[in-house]
Structure 1
């Protein structure tokens, strides 16, 4: 059985759930064979990006706009066991956290420059790399140098906010930013992603199944084609809850709809289907809840002072 990855996350904010693990397993078919450059958009505590770095040996940049949440993601990346692969032939993943608004005009340049820095670091002398990795401190980056030869991302993975404006909004700022589409509009983030992806780059994300027509139209408007689609049902007798999308830029492929994924055999919350039980066993996590008001320890702030900088919100790209 796989060792659980540890994730600090807010007790009084958005907590990851089964959707993230289902999305991670869905993404595995596109990430396992070749090391990838992956962008985790709206990373939260970093569960998707860190898991992609750990299980798929990807180079990951995780973007999170909320400073305290980004700090937890950086701590989670710092303590993830990326450096435990001892075989020299085994590729190693890495994950860096960028605290920024995904829709800001400067964010793509910052993310791509950070990815270039990661690649340059990976190409150093292997012995020097090993020494540095043993004491590596993943940082929260907000200012990164420009790079004319930055690589781009092969894939963007996201569990974006998708509650519509008509829904009753929470008064909790952390929950509001993580749940409601008005904080990260569908069309806007798909448009922005084109600045970050390779010419044949892909989006892997989940969304409400009831919004599929709008999602497909938004993808089409930005020259993405949904190549693979899978619906997730709580029970065979219930309507689909979410849909999992794999969409590629400038693709002419026809859409393939995969068999449905059922999460439960009965209304019992613990009565998981065999497939979901396999997913939970393959991507085990251990959650440690902390309160936002407690992330003020002077020692922690001093430790992060050089790497955590709050930059003003800039004009959005779309």
Structure 2
């Protein structure tokens, strides 16, 4: 695959390892049909998936106009086809249901340190989109048997399972992410299916570091990604 170039704001929310971990998790699945990247930011997750799986029909959605403009710029400069929508996901009325929704939603609690930059806060904190609202709207936007992929803080597992069940989504795959094998999980990578009764697969944990250096898992992830970032 060619190197992808992603412009992102020097000041404001920037993609991070969570975005790359979620991309790697989703890419291992069978992707087809219409895919929505909800809260796309600069568009990195959706556009990388489009680059690897050209046949998907990609829609990028964000509530922040500047992010949508940035996502369009990144789609154009990488010659990747995507529809970009600027709308609040809680108010999103889909014209056609999606086969797949991918999202790195805001999951920091209100107790966490907030930034002076409101764009960062909207991307990071639950008050801009609660877990319940996110899962409810995702369920409405998915086709029957459609799949939702997202990452969330590990401490919220019980609430995640409760919300998925409430809105007829079945937890079908889960992978915990750890800084190292001796650390508690900090992040969960989740697949949920709409109107499904499939059993849940617990995947082997993903450890980012081993003996103070990048783990083989993390090195393999990075080797599969060819991206360059430009600050604007």
- Give TM-score scaled by structure 2 length: 0.95
- For 1:76-87, list aligned pairs within 5 A: 76-82=74-80
> Is 1:226 equivalent to 2:174 in the alignment?
no
**Aligned-partner SS, 2:23:** helix
Provide the C-alpha distance between the structure 2 equivalents of 1:38 and 1:173, rounded to a whole number of angstroms: 28
Provide the C-alpha distance between the structure 2 equivalents of 1:201 and 1:265, rounded to a whole number of angstroms: 36
Deviation for aligned residue 1:108:
2.3
For structure 1, list consecutive stretches of 5 or more residues without a partner in the other structure.
Answer: 83-93, 113-149, 291-318
Provide the C-alpha distance between the structure 1 equivalents of 2:138 and 2:228, rounded to a whole number of angstroms: 30
Deviations 1:230-257 (A, max 9, x none): 0011101111110100000111112110
> Is 1:102 equivalent to 2:89 in the alignment?
yes
**Aligned-partner SS, 1:108:** coil
> Is 1:169 equivalent to 2:114 in the alignment?
yes
> Is 1:206 equivalent to 2:206 in the alignment?
no
Paired residue for 1:277? 219
> Is 1:71 equivalent to 2:66 in the alignment?
no
8 A Cα contact 1:54 1:81, kept in partner? no
More strand by share: 2
Provide the C-alpha distance between the structure 1 equivalents of 2:22 and 2:58, rounded to a whole number of angstroms: 16
Deviations 1:149-198 (A, max 9, x none): x4x21010001110012223222111111100110111001111122211
**Aligned-partner SS, 2:123:** helix
Provide the C-alpha distance between the structure 1 equivalents of 2:75 and 2:62, rounded to a whole number of angstroms: 13
Provide the C-alpha distance between the structure 1 equivalents of 2:139 and 2:174, rounded to a whole number of angstroms: 20
Provide the C-alpha distance between the structure 2 equivalents of 1:108 and 1:286, rounded to a whole number of angstroms: 34
> Is 1:41 equivalent to 2:28 in the alignment?
no
Deviations 1:251-298 (A, max 9, x none): 11121100011111133xxx21112111111122211112xxxxxxxx
Paired residue for 1:191? 136
Higher Cα Rg, which structure: 1
Deviations 1:26-74 (A, max 9, x none): 1113235xx3210000000000111121111211101011111110110
RMSD: 1.3
Deviations 1:208-243 (A, max 9, x none): 011111111111111111110000111011111101
Deviation for aligned residue 1:21:
1.2
**Aligned-partner SS, 1:237:** coil
Paired residue for 1:6? 5
8 A Cα contact 1:77 1:96, kept in partner? no
Paired residue for 1:246? 191
**Aligned-partner SS, 2:214:** coil
8 A Cα contact 1:108 1:195, kept in partner? no
8 A Cα contact 1:41 1:63, kept in partner? yes
For structure 2, list consecutive stretches of 5 or more residues without a partner in the other structure.
Answer: none
- Give TM-score scaled by structure 1 length: 0.70
Deviation for aligned residue 1:99:
0.9
